[in-house]
Amino acid sequence: MIEKEKATEILERGLKLSQADQTELVLLEEDTKLTRFAENVIHQNVAKYDHTLFARAVLGKKVGVAVTNGIEEDDLKKVVGDAVEIAKNLEDDPDFESLPTSPDAEKVSGFYENTSTFSPEDRAFWVAEIVKKCKEKKILATGALEITNQGLTVTNSLGIRQYFEGTEAYLSLTSSKNSQSGWAQGLSRDVNEIDLDNITETAIEKTLRSEDPMELPPGEYTVILEEAAVASLLLFLGFLGFGAKTFIQGRSFMAGKIGERITGDNITITEDPFLTQMPGIPFDYEGVAKKKVTLIEDGIARGVVYNSYYANKADQKSTGHALLPNNPYGPYPKNMVIKPGNSSMEEMIKSTERGILVTRFWYINFLNPMRTQITGTTQDGTFLIENGSIKSAVKNMRMGHSILEAFSNVEMMSRKRKVCPQFGVVMYIPAMKINKFNFIE
């Protein structure tokens, strides 16, 4: 990884080479080590290091973006030159005001030496432990163990100078037997915080319980969604409406609803990269310091996240949620948190006369974005609950439901929460018992 002083010096040289009115440079580094295994055998063990340099050049109200993975003098000169040429050939953007300025970001402890130095032998040992337990139950193990070092440096000609280095360890395990499967995962900046035994035992237990599944008819059911299933709902809710772009354009379910009730009063959702359990970065890809943002409070719509462009457009302040300079999506929450309840998974199951326990959802897609309706199938452990106990496994079912409606019918939530990573977003989520949840096939 490039050290802070060296990374900053590279970008300073790039700024001096630019002929733009304003210039921004973003250096993203990723050092990834990955071990994949399938059917109880390691089949891939790879390591990759790369860096990507983004240049954003401003000429009046024209903004050009260019990208390279070179950081030598000629690379710097070309990428800032390309960004300027791109800007010259664009139309003015009347809504563009300026690149941002920002105070220094809050200091966050993101780097763990024990994670950074977790070796191929260490990864192989973990896989061996997983395989040993699965073989004892005549189960096949498939999954991945990934160790990542990430560096992010942002500078611009208006004075922003930000640097962050962090580590992440991620384990995903799918165990299977006779076409039935179970699943569990773990994510932490500190590899020692990943509970290998619990992840393995959880996946195995779900696999064994999934044998001889019964088929249930479509209809409305009480469901108990484990944390990963709830996280999928929240992920799509964030994509559909918690960013300022769709909010300003009127394409968000939040548009015109600020201050109004949109979920049950037991739902509070925040964007909080500073939570201890959350592996967040303290600034965004514009170098703007992140802020904790209340999105929904006690069921009331409160706000969305902004980058500098949409903050200027809406006469707001950036909350520090810009994505990479060449993205088309606008600002987006990356560290969402749901306030917990006061129940346990066991209490939720015991309180359920008849319902379905869902481990997670798969292949989710939109049905009606403005009504937050989505569809997807259950996966890796779906079970029928009767008279307060798990009766049998259930064949996977397809749900079709409104997320806001689901969050309006939450009867119970767990006090315990789990970190759930999905598609580049990390969420800290309780399990939920939800009434009148619709399965369509």
Q: How many angstroms separate the CA atoms of 362 and 379, rounded?
A: 6
**pLDDT (tens digit, 9 = 90+) per residue, 348-398?**
999 999 999 999 999 999 999 999 999 999 999 999 999 999 999 999 999
Q: Is residue 417 part of a domain?
A: yes
Q: How many angstroms separate the CA atoms of 181 and 241, rounded?
A: 33
φ, ψ dihedrals at 326, nearest 5°? -100, 15
pLDDT for 281: 95
> Are 108 and 39 part of one and the same domain?
yes
Q: Is residue 206 part of a domain?
A: no
Which one of 171, 199, 227 terminates a domain? Answer: 199
In this prediction, residue 104 has a pLDDT band, given cuts at 50, 70 and 90, of confident
Q: Is residue 204 part of a domain?
A: no
> Are 18 and 160 part of one and the same domain?
yes
pLDDT for 103: 87
Angle (CA) 143-144-150 rounded to 5° is 155
φ, ψ dihedrals at 170, nearest 5°? -135, 130
**pLDDT (tens digit, 9 = 90+) per residue, 125-176?**
999 999 999 999 999 999 999 999 999 999 999 999 999 999 999 999 999 9
> Are 262 and 370 part of one and the same domain?
yes
Q: Which residues pair with 169 in a beta bridge?
A: 147, 188
pLDDT for 209: 96
Q: How many angstroms separate the CA atoms of 250 and 272, rounded?
A: 25
pLDDT for 286: 98
> Are 68 and 136 part of one and the same domain?
yes
- Torsion of Cα atoms, 358 then 362 then 368 then 372, to 10°: 50
Q: How many angstroms separate the CA atoms of 326 and 91, rounded?
A: 17
Total-model pTM: 0.96
Taking a C-beta distance cutoff of 8 angstroms, is the pair 25, 161 a contact? no
Q: Is residue 205 part of a domain?
A: no
Which one of 199, 227, 256 terminates a domain? Answer: 199
Q: Which domain holds residue 108?
A: 4-199
> Are 216 and 195 part of one and the same domain?
no
> Are 193 and 246 part of one and the same domain?
no
Q: Which residues pair with 392 in a beta bridge?
A: 384
Q: Return all residues near 2 (Cβ < 8 A) that are at least 6 apart.
A: 10, 27, 29, 51, 151, 153
**pLDDT (tens digit, 9 = 90+) per residue, 333-353?**
999 999 999 999 999 999 999
> Are 195 and 218 part of one and the same domain?
no
> Are 188 and 281 part of one and the same domain?
no
Lookup result for tokens 């249930």: 216
pLDDT greater than 90 at residue 105: no
> Are 177 and 244 part of one and the same domain?
no
Q: Which residues pair with 30 in a beta bridge?
A: 50, 150
> Are 182 and 248 part of one and the same domain?
no
What's the CATH code of the domain at 157? 3.30.2290.10
**pLDDT (tens digit, 9 = 90+) per residue, 25-77?**
999 999 999 999 999 999 999 999 999 999 999 999 999 999 999 999 999 99
pLDDT for 1: 87
> Are 51 and 30 part of one and the same domain?
yes
State how many domains the chain has. 2
- Helix pair angle (73-88, 4-17), 10° resolution: 50
> Are 218 and 191 part of one and the same domain?
no
Which one of 170, 199, 228 terminates a domain? Answer: 199
Q: Return all residues near 254 (Cβ < 8 A) that are at least 6 apart.
A: 241, 242, 247, 262, 301, 304
